[in-house]
Chains A and B, each alone.
Chain A
Amino acid sequence: MSEYIEHDKTGSSAGLIEKKFYTFADQSDEMILENGTRFGPITLAYETCGTLNPDRSNVILILHALTGDSHMAGFYTKEDSKPGWWDIMVGPGKGIDTENFFVICSNIVGGCMGSTGPGSVNPKTGKPYGIDFPVITMGDMVRAQKALMDHLGIEKILSVIGGSLGGMQVLEWCVRYPRMVISAIPLATTTKHSALAIAFNEVARQAIMADPNWTGGNYYSGEKPDLGLAVARMIGHITYLSDESMRQKFGRRLQEKSDFSYDFSADFQVESYLRYQGTKFVERFDANSFLYITKAADYFDLERQYGDGSLVKAFSEVASKFLVVSFTSDWLYPTYQSKTMVKAMKKNGIDVSFCEIEAECGHDAFLLPNDRLTGLIRGFLEGVFNEVRA
């Protein structure tokens, strides 16, 4: 996901929000990961907004994309220059209305935004895990989030919502905990990465690992593999845009010059933009986390893990009501991938709505202000909430 700073003019801000932490799976109770290893302790960063109603029927769980964090909306301090990553959607009167719903956004294990990840200190050695961090899966991420829900005393989730990698977590939630998830909104996502998506991830990972500062993942006491991570970000960023959005945003315009410089500086605006995105990204993201999370996304394959190769079978226990949304210009997770999951849901008699929103801005469309997406989410949530209370 890219970073956007637009505000939603239709609703007010979610206000000041505090980042919270929950630590579990300590020595006596380590989590057994999908790769078979025992792992703990695990800390998850999360944030909440809105008020839990007495019967705990208004819980919404938001799951973020690859480089996101628990800061979905609002501000940490009054001095913050920009709000959380989905401030356009989450807040009082917005698509996910915090006047009605208690909204939780959980970070992921393996990340670097306050949860346990490769950059965290291994209590057994006193040093950062680095590459000794176990390879985690979408299932591990979701099981950790389930532990957080248990801790918060939440037994039913009105809706689990997320786009891209967040959408994969949404699907994993529905398959793994079918009785807990009343409804789900997977946006701009897929049930398994295409070769194209894996290929881009692999190029990004190779860029990191080819950086001499990566040093086998043990860079925490010295120089970081910033160049590699910046290139990885640039690659990722291209896949989030579209031909049309790049033509509109940059075209062949030059960056603060009237002619080519005939060297390898950033002549074109698009070059300058990508370099800027790359350098900005390394300030906030850990290269090893990028490796681990992209690998988890590549491994994610619902039909392989839950359906012996059949997506229809993978969804056979699922009981949630779905709203699946894709975007016309998303070539990273194209509409046909959403349609494939919708088809498998229909074959199981699952209650599913689907909409392909006409949008020019590519995969990132789910993060950008879009009245149509806001209207869909708002209407769907109202409907589900009414059914639950009926």
Chain B
Amino acid sequence: MKSELDSTRFDLRIIASWIKPGSKVLGLGCGEGELLSFLKKNKKVNETGIEIKEERARRCIEKGLSVLQGDINEEILDYPDEYFDYVILSQTLQQVFEPENLISSMMNVGKRGIVSFPNFCHWRLRMQLLYSGHVPVTKELPYEWYDTPNIRVLSINDFRSFAGKLDYRIVKEAAINMKDNNMDGEVVKFMPNMFATYGIFMIGKKKT
């Protein structure tokens, strides 16, 4: 029998493993609430989600999740400082118009930020770029240049230096590869910027 753990996306399971039980969690661009439901059930978190699409926000609320329909950049502003233990931006950073502002908002309302994104410097993408002469299209990044929502192209190394520049501390990180069904995967230890399809980071404020 398939356990519930196996039917949750591998990257979300990694994120979930970092979350302390009973904490307050904000999920930005939470979709239909897959991660938040998982965290609510298995980690007994106090969840809030923000999702711009009415239908997806409705699905979340129908599941009993606390979710606000709205723009993450605006909705995140209204919370008290450090109200959440974790603010999660899963697979959305590459679509954010002003990443610096959003991450700084995340670190205002949350004690920790968790960010995941597809690694645009995976070797397959490099090869496609080099040999095909076309902008890469892969399983993780299935869009053509003219219909992609991904307006920010970044790699695992790029995020690391970005965090450093903004003075955030990297608390945890994982570079992963997901299998075709997205349910299985592996942690990439060797040359992650070359061999991992996704990067996941937990960041915190620098201690002053």
Bitwise interface map of A from 1 to 26 toward B, beta carbon under 8 Å scored 1, else 0: 00000000000000000000000000
In the complex, how many angstroms separate the beta carbon of B63 from the nearest chain A beta carbon? 6
The answer, among A347, A351, A352, A372, for a CB contact under 8 Å with B58, is: A372
B68 touches A353 (CB 8 A): yes
Knowing A342-B68, A352-B68, A353-B67, the reply to whether A379 touches B79 (Cβ < 8 A) is no
B58 touches A346 (CB 8 A): no
Assembly CA distance A375 to B58 (angstroms): 8
Assembly CA distance A149 to B79 (angstroms): 34
B78 touches A354 (CB 8 A): no
A358 touches B69 (CB 8 A): no
In the complex, how many angstroms separate the beta carbon of B81 from the nearest chain A beta carbon? 11
In the complex, how many angstroms separate the beta carbon of A361 from the nearest chain B beta carbon? 16
Interface of A: prevailing SS: helix
B57 touches A355 (CB 8 A): yes
A81 at the interface (CB under 8 A from B): no
Question: What B residues does A323 contact at CB under 8 A?
Answer: 61
A351 touches B68 (CB 8 A): no
A233 at the interface (CB under 8 A from B): no
B54 at the interface (CB under 8 A from A): yes
Question: What B residues does A378 contact at CB under 8 A?
Answer: 62
In the complex, how many angstroms separate the beta carbon of A274 from the nearest chain B beta carbon? 32
In the complex, how many angstroms separate the beta carbon of B28 from the nearest chain A beta carbon? 14
A321 at the interface (CB under 8 A from B): yes
Question: What B residues does A243 contact at CB under 8 A?
Answer: none
Chain B 14-64 interface residues, beta-carbon cutoff 8 Å to A: 46, 48, 54, 57-58, 60-64
Bitwise interface map of B from 127 to 167 toward A, beta carbon under 8 Å scored 1, else 0: 00000000000000000000000000000000000000000
Report how many residues on chain B are interfacial, defined by Cβ distance under 8 Å.
21
Question: What A residues does B83 contact at CB under 8 A?
Answer: 349
Knowing A379-B62, A383-B64, A386-B64, the reply to whether A355 touches B78 (Cβ < 8 A) is no
Chain B 70-93 interface residues, beta-carbon cutoff 8 Å to A: 70, 75, 78-80, 83
B62 touches A347 (CB 8 A): no
The answer, among B61, B68, B80, for a CB contact under 8 Å with A380, is: B61
A355 touches B54 (CB 8 A): yes
Question: What A residues does B94 contact at CB under 8 A?
Answer: none
B8 at the interface (CB under 8 A from A): no
Bitwise interface map of A from 290 to 302 toward B, beta carbon under 8 Å scored 1, else 0: 0000000000000
In the complex, how many angstroms separate the beta carbon of A378 from the nearest chain B beta carbon? 7
**Besides the known contacts A372-B58, A379-B63, 12 further A-B residue pairs in the complex with CB atoms under 8 A apart:** A346-B68, A346-B78, A349-B83, A354-B57, A355-B69, A356-B54, A358-B54, A378-B62, A379-B61, A380-B61, A383-B64, A384-B64
